[in-house]
């Protein structure tokens, strides 16, 4: 008994040391408590001692995801499947798994009307195996029990993140009657499997298409496994870019496309004309983010953001007033590393060993400083546990974005094709815009990634005549203090509007009635780049309204 008590005391001590709030020094400074932290502590508030402790503990992504999801209202015990495609980078991980879920896989948890005023609901965590070696997607889903699932919402996170970042959205969005909510970790990110990323194409267009296909082919294969005929797709940042690419390559599957602060819409001539990177050892990239503390305090940031080296503040305001095309704002050495595909921020976290948690705290302390300390700490732990995993699809980013975070194949050139594609298999084609004439088969396959089963046209299309989509509603959301330029959203809205006018110019009254090709831009107040987290209440309200709109449109379509 004495041994057990001593062991329990040791565990409590370790927990207190590893769970100490990384925001303590920053919040103390804001409140005027204690001494002013040094310059290093201001940028990297986690102490060297606490950083070493966290590195040595080696807390798994499974445990940290479980902890983040435990903040979901009415879900005190979230399900956490123990299978994971992630692999710890540390060679000396501790067996201690703080705040870990049960040792056995929990496939689902059910809430009742007694414990959940919006229940009963089933919360499920599962690893969905895909074809090919080492390909699987981590999935978290919520559905209302006792109701027929009529519509499905699929949520995709941004670069380097994971589905746990949506923890403030799951409960509210799953209140909608007849809806099932899915969140996925992109292939090679989060807790999804992390197969080696390779590019086989030799030409620029082929490399871009292959990098996009890496993600969107996996999403399509997951859709087929889940038996979803049509669904609403929400993508944040890089997830928004990929959601648009998916809509173009796999037409007829979406009833609405929602882009939350998407990357890659504006066009920059340097990004379009630059040489492509070499075969990756790694790619240099970082989540596209601003300082959330600024947004919470209603402080309008500059177009650039010193918290994000992809969009540095250097002369950004001055350049914004000029009519010249945007220029790269990165130093030459950083551009060289990007184009050479030599290093990534996650590589730095892995290589830095015990310093890794402290480096990550430089981002998380600012990104989550507007949140309660306990939630901010959980998100820091979650972020570090993901960042330190084996590199995989992080190496794809340099093939999609050029230095400065501009797309090599800008969405502003393609977004008008969303909802206007021919409903047929596009496996041999890049996510490009179909012409008015039905396209023929391509001569060669660009992508070497495992292809999902052949895509059949939705049941609304006849077997004798190929049909074209009649438009898909597109919603573009930006934060009030988003560093992602909302002008790109309005430009995309205009392109979609012009394409609709062109298509309907010669349409019949019935075709006009059935057309769904609309777009709108929504601003989330006091939010930065992470609109779903910074302005989660307004974001959830907007999403529920958009989901109601889907139900109205689907009923009209079925009538």
pLDDT score of 69 more than 70: yes
Indicate the range of 168-172, 391-395, 418-422 predicted with least confidence. 391-395
Q: How confident is the model at residue 223 (pLDDT cuts 50, 70, 90)?
A: very high
The pLDDT score that the predictor gives to residue 276 is: 61
Report pLDDT digits (tens) over 426-458.
876 678 898 888 866 543 333 444 444 444 445
Res. 531 pLDDT band, cuts 50 70 90: very high
Cα atoms found within 13 Å of the Cα of residue 241, Cβ hemisphere only: 28
In 388-459, which residue ranges form alpha helices assigned H by DSSP? 397-400
Average pLDDT over residues 532-537: 98
Token pair recorded at residue 92: 């000396």
Does 485 map to a domain? yes
pLDDT at 56: 87
pLDDT at 99 over 90: no
Q: What is the pLDDT of residue 49?
A: 87
Length of the chain: 559
- Catalytic residue positions? 237, 482, 529
List the CATH number of the domain containing 485.
3.40.50.1820
Q: What is the pLDDT of residue 272?
A: 62
178 in a domain, yes or no? Answer: yes
Residue 85 lies in a domain: no
Mean pLDDT value of segment 301-318: 37
Instruction: Return the pLDDT at 448.
Output: 43
Q: Containing domain of residue 501, as a range?
A: 105-268+408-422+470-558
Q: Give the pLDDT score at 61.
A: 93
Tens of pLDDT, residue by residue over 317-331, are 433 344 444 444 445
Q: What is the mean pLDDT of residues 297-322?
A: 39
CA atoms within 13 A on the CB side of 494: 9
Q: CA-CA distance, 106 to 122, in Å (whole number)? A: 12
For residue 296, the model assigns a pLDDT of 41
Q: What are the residues facing 234 on neighbouring strands?
A: 155, 258
Question: In this structure, is residue 130 part of a structural domain?
Answer: yes
Task: Residue 9: count other Cβ atoms within 10 Å of its Cβ.
Answer: 10
In a domain, 356, yes or no: no
- Decide if pLDDT at 48 tops 80: yes
382 domain residue, yes or no: no
- What pLDDT is recorded for position 54? 87
In a domain, 525, yes or no: yes
- Cis? peptide before 446, omega within 30° of 0: no
**Burial track 312-336 (b if 16+ CB lie within 10 A, e otherwise):** bbeebeeeeeeeeebebbbeeebbe
pLDDT of residue 3: 41
Tens digit of each residue's pLDDT (9 = 90 or more) over 232-268:
999 999 999 999 999 999 999 999 999 999 999 998 7
Tell me the C-alpha distance between 353 and 350, whole Å: 6
Mean pLDDT, all residues of the chain: 79
User: What is the per-residue pLDDT for 411?
Assistant: 96
pLDDT at 453: 46
Report how many domains make up the chain: 1
DSSP code of 326? P
> What SS3 class is residue 475?
strand
Domain contains 390: no
Query: Mean pLDDT across the stretch 218-225?
Result: 98
Q: Are strands 121-129 and 108-111 parallel, antiparallel or unpaired?
A: antiparallel
* pLDDT of 292 above 70: no
């Amino acid at each position: 008994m004495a041994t057990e008590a001593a062991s329990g005391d040791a565990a409590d001590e370790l927990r207190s040391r590893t769970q100490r709030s990384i925001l303590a020094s920053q919040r103390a400074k804001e409140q005027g408590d204690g001494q002013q932290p040094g310059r290093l502590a201001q940028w990297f508030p986690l102490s060297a001692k606490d950083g070493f402790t966290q590195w040595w503990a080696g807390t798994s992504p499974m445990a940290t995801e479980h902890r983040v999801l435990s903040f979901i209202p009415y879900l005190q015990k979230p399900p956490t499947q123990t299978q994971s495609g992630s692999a710890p980078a540390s060679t000396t991980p501790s067996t201690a798994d703080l705040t870990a879920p049960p040792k056995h896989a929990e496939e689902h948890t059910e809430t009742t009307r007694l414990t959940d005023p919006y229940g009963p609901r089933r919360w499920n965590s599962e690893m969905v195996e895909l074809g090919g070696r080492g390909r699987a997607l981590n999935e978290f889903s919520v559905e209302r029990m006792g109701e027929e699932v009529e519509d499905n919402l699929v949520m995709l996170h941004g670069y380097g993140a994971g589905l746990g970042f949506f923890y403030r959205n799951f409960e509210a969005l799953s209140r909608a009657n007849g809806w099932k909510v899915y969140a996925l970790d992109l292939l090679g990110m989060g807790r999804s499997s992390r197969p080696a990323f390779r590019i086989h194409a030799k030409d620029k267009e082929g490399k871009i298409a292959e990098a996009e296909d890496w993600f969107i082919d996996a999403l399509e294969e997951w859709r087929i496994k889940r038996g979803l005929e049509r669904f609403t797709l929400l993508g944040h940042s890089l997830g928004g870019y990929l959601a648009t690419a998916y809509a173009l390559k796999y037409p007829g599957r979406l009833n609405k496309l929602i882009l939350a602060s998407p990357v890659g819409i504006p066009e920059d001539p340097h990004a379009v004309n630059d040489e492509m990177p070499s075969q990756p050892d790694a790619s240099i990239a970082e989540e596209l983010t601003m300082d959330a503390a600024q947004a919470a305090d209603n402080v309008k940031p500059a177009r650039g953001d010193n918290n994000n080296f992809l969009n540095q503040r250097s002369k950004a305001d001055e350049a914004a007033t000029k009519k010249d095309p945007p220029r790269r704002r990165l130093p030459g050495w950083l551009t060289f590393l990007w184009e050479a595909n030599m290093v990534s921020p996650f590589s730095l976290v892995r290589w830095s060993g015990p310093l890794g948690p402290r480096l990550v705290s430089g981002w998380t302390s600012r990104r989550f400083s507007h949140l309660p300390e306990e939630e901010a700490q959980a998100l820091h732990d979650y972020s570090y546990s993901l960042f330190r995993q084996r590199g995989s699809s992080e190496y794809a980013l340099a093939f999609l974005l050029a230095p400065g975070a501009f797309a090599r194949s800008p969405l502003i050139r393609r977004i008008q094709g969303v909802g206007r594609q021919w409903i047929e298999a596009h496996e041999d084609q890049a996510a490009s815009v179909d012409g008015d004439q039905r396209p023929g088969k391509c001569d060669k396959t660009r992508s070497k990634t495992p292809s999902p089963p052949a895509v059949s046209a939705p049941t609304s299309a006849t077997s004798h005549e190929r049909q074209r989509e009649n438009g898909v509603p597109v919603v573009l959301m930006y934060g009030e203090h988003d560093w992602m330029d909302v002008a790109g959203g309005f430009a995309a809205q205009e392109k979609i509007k012009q394409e609709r006018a062109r298509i309907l110019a010669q349409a019949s009254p019935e075709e006009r009635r059935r057309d769904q090709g609309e777009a709108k831009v929504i601003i989330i107040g006091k939010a930065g780049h992470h609109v779903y987290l910074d302005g989660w209440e307004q974001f959830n309200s907007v999403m529920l309204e958009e989901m109601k709109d889907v139900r109205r449109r689907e009923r009209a379509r079925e009538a």
